[in-house]
Chain A
Amino acid sequence: MQMEWGYIGTVVVSGLLIVFVALLLLIIAVSVMGKIMEAADAKKKKAAAPADVKREMPSPAAEPVTRDIPAPSYTDDTEVVAVIAAAVAAISEETGRKLRITGIRPAAVQGRSAWGAAAMADSMRSI
């Protein structure tokens, strides 16, 4: 049965509107949640900072520095490991050679994000 244009228009316009409104509400909710968490984290860091300054000063000879790709902390930086694995899988597919990651070892990299550290390690390997 042929649909009327009015009905088609209703489905399309109301459908798009509801999808956008739903996802806009989610943007607001997630943004508010993010702001609250950031504020709470900032408060926590401020309260903990003076007591922890001495403890966090790195001892130069404490851990060996390696050129390996630093292992990210599991809770927040698993994306780096996933990206590396995805890149290796993509190369395997393109070249037909079977490659696998045999290990990711922790390296002492403090004060730098996992992305920054990975970029630094990549630059160092290419020298």
Chain B
Amino acid sequence: MELFFETLGDLAVTSGFASLTWRNVVMILVSLVFMYLAIKKGFEPLLLLPIAFGMLLTNLPSTGMYHPELWNIDAGHELDFGKILHEGGLLDMLYLGVKLQIYPSLIFLGIGCMTDFTPLIANPKSFLLGAAAQAGIFLTFIGAALLGFDATEAGSIAIIGGADGPTSIYVASKLLASGGKSVEVGTIALAAYTYMALVPLIQPPIMRRLTTEKERRVHMDTLRTVSKTEKMIFPIAVTIIIALLVPSAAPLVGMLMLGNLFKESGVVDRLSKTAQNELMNIITIFLGISVGATTVADKVISWAFIKVMILGVIAFSVGTACGLLFGKIMYVTSGGKVNPLIGSAGVSAVPMAARQSQKVGAETDPTNFLLMHAMGPNVAGVIGSAVAAGVLLSIIQY
């Protein structure tokens, strides 16, 4: 009998209830909120649901699924992979793919298979709008610096303005590799995906404010036909040019273009289908749940998290505004042929940002079909944000 009670006592002491703190409870509730947003409100469910569940799992104490101490290393030191493999839990093993930059690159492979660059090839000037929208990244860097973040933290927060989840995770996992940071990869990913889902709320008011009715009414000329050969040469040319100019952007841009070449070549249909379906789904599960696991209570319940969320919305808004303002410049220089609304689509949230250009344009003139024209800057933004990511990784010492 004594043994029975002793065993029960041991079980009670080692149970999660014994180590549950108020921070864990708050994070569990936050994870439930994000699950509600993902399931009921449809906020980027493919990523937000696994991220939210990873957040739940990591904040349930004593599960041994994720060990932050294995990943927080001092600057100048290397990760102890032997220790990670020996002492790590399930989520530590899955997180290896994030740390080794495998998952974001493979996600980009799938994205490349699903992306049609035709509107961009037909109107290459859209690249300028994709570049202009990335100003949101660099201007947010200034904001993060003013709020007291160091260069690596500021760079990780600024990349949220690229409106690209895998790019944000790629940059944050590199810049935040050494320990002692006030933000985590999970925080950055959470902010990025939340604001990507809020694009339909964030962008339209800015678009209406910064453009006149006359500008919104502009009907753009039909895009020229793009040949199959051009569509095949495009990914090869982009890879060569960007990899030579910004080598640190090569993993993301290279995989994006490889996926696109799979699609456009037409001779590797099986690979293209696998990359955009099975592979993408598997990587999305692993990426989401392991990134969510980094949102441990100590790191998230802090002023730094609130600053990240505020800077995130500023980054999105500034990116949208910069794209629109550049669109207005192109409207003037083209003699009124370019509708400035497509500028806001330079933010790389594909295809939501392009849909907002169509929606706001159609509010003024229902016969105005801007969607395909806006897709050009939208997909240019994907390339632009990957280049910006490479630039941040090249300039900032980590």
By a beta-carbon cutoff of 8 Å, the part of chain A in contact with chain B is 1-3, 7-8, 10-12, 14-16, 18-27, 29-31, 33-34, 37-38, 41, 75-76, 78-79, 82-83, 86, 90, 113, 115-116
A12 touches B139 (CB 8 A): yes
Q: Known contacts A24-B127, A27-B127, A30-B121; decide if A19 and B227 are in contact (CB<8 Å).
A: no
Q: Known contacts A8-B141, A11-B396, A33-B234; decide if A18 and B391 are in contact (CB<8 Å).
A: yes
**B230 on the A face (CB < 8 A):** yes
A78 touches B116 (CB 8 A): yes
**B102 on the A face (CB < 8 A):** no
**B16 on the A face (CB < 8 A):** no
**B287 on the A face (CB < 8 A):** no
Looking at the complex, which of B4-12, B25-33, B49-57, B240-248 is the stretch in contact with chain A? B240-248
Q: Could you tell me the distance in whole angstroms from the C-beta of B311 to the nearest C-beta in chain A?
A: 14
- Number of residue pairs spanning A and B whose beta carbons lie under 8 angstroms apart: 127
For A34, the chain B residues whose CB sits under 8 A away are 121-122, 124, 224, 226, 230
* Docked CA distance A18–B388 (Å): 8
Q: Known contacts A1-B150, A26-B124; decide if A79 and B118 are in contact (CB<8 Å).
A: yes
For A78, the chain B residues whose CB sits under 8 A away are 116
A37 touches B229 (CB 8 A): yes
From the candidates A20, A30, A37, name the one contacting B227 in the complex (CB within 8 A). A37
A29 touches B121 (CB 8 A): no
**B90 on the A face (CB < 8 A):** no
Chain A interface, DSSP helix/strand/loop, else mixed = helix
B230 touches A23 (CB 8 A): no
B230 touches A15 (CB 8 A): no
**B371 on the A face (CB < 8 A):** yes
Q: Could you tell me the distance in whole angstroms from the C-beta of B342 to the nearest C-beta in chain A?
A: 15
> How many positions in chain B have a CB within 8 Å of any CB in the partner chain?
55
For B388, the chain A residues whose CB sits under 8 A away are 15, 19
**B148 on the A face (CB < 8 A):** yes
* Docked CA distance A33–B236 (Å): 12
Select from chain A the residue with minimum beta-carbon distance to B127.
A23
Select from chain B the residue with minimum beta-carbon distance to A5.
B145
* Docked CA distance A24–B387 (Å): 12
From the candidates B227, B242, B392, name the one contacting A15 in the complex (CB within 8 A). B392
For B131, the chain A residues whose CB sits under 8 A away are 19-20, 22-24
A12 touches B142 (CB 8 A): yes
Q: Known contacts A11-B138, A30-B121; decide if A113 and B227 are in contact (CB<8 Å).
A: no
Q: Could you tell me the distance in whole angstroms from the C-beta of A72 to the nearest C-beta in chain B?
A: 11
A23 touches B380 (CB 8 A): yes
Q: 12 other contacts beyond A3-B145, A11-B396, A30-B121, with CB at 8 A cut-off?
A: A2-B145, A3-B151, A11-B392, A11-B395, A12-B142, A15-B388, A18-B387, A26-B127, A27-B128, A37-B229, A115-B222, A115-B369
Select from chain B the residue with minimum beta-carbon distance to A30.
B124
* Docked CA distance A113–B226 (Å): 13
CB-defined A-B contacts under 8 Å, sample of 6: A7-B151, A16-B138, A22-B245, A25-B245, A26-B124, A86-B371
Among all A-B residue pairs, the 5 with the closest Cβ atoms: A30-B124, A23-B127, A23-B131, A27-B124, A12-B138
From the candidates B151, B371, B372, name the one contacting A11 in the complex (CB within 8 A). B151
From the candidates B124, B155, B233, B245, name the one contacting A21 in the complex (CB within 8 A). B245
Q: Which of B142, B355, B392 has the most CB of A within 10 A?
A: B142
**B210 on the A face (CB < 8 A):** no
B130 touches A23 (CB 8 A): yes
* Docked CA distance A14–B137 (Å): 13
* Docked CA distance A116–B221 (Å): 12
**B154 on the A face (CB < 8 A):** yes
Q: Known contacts A29-B237, A113-B222; decide if A18 and B246 are in contact (CB<8 Å).
A: yes
For A83, the chain B residues whose CB sits under 8 A away are 369, 371-372
B391 touches A19 (CB 8 A): yes
* Docked CA distance A82–B227 (Å): 18
For A27, the chain B residues whose CB sits under 8 A away are 124-125, 127-128
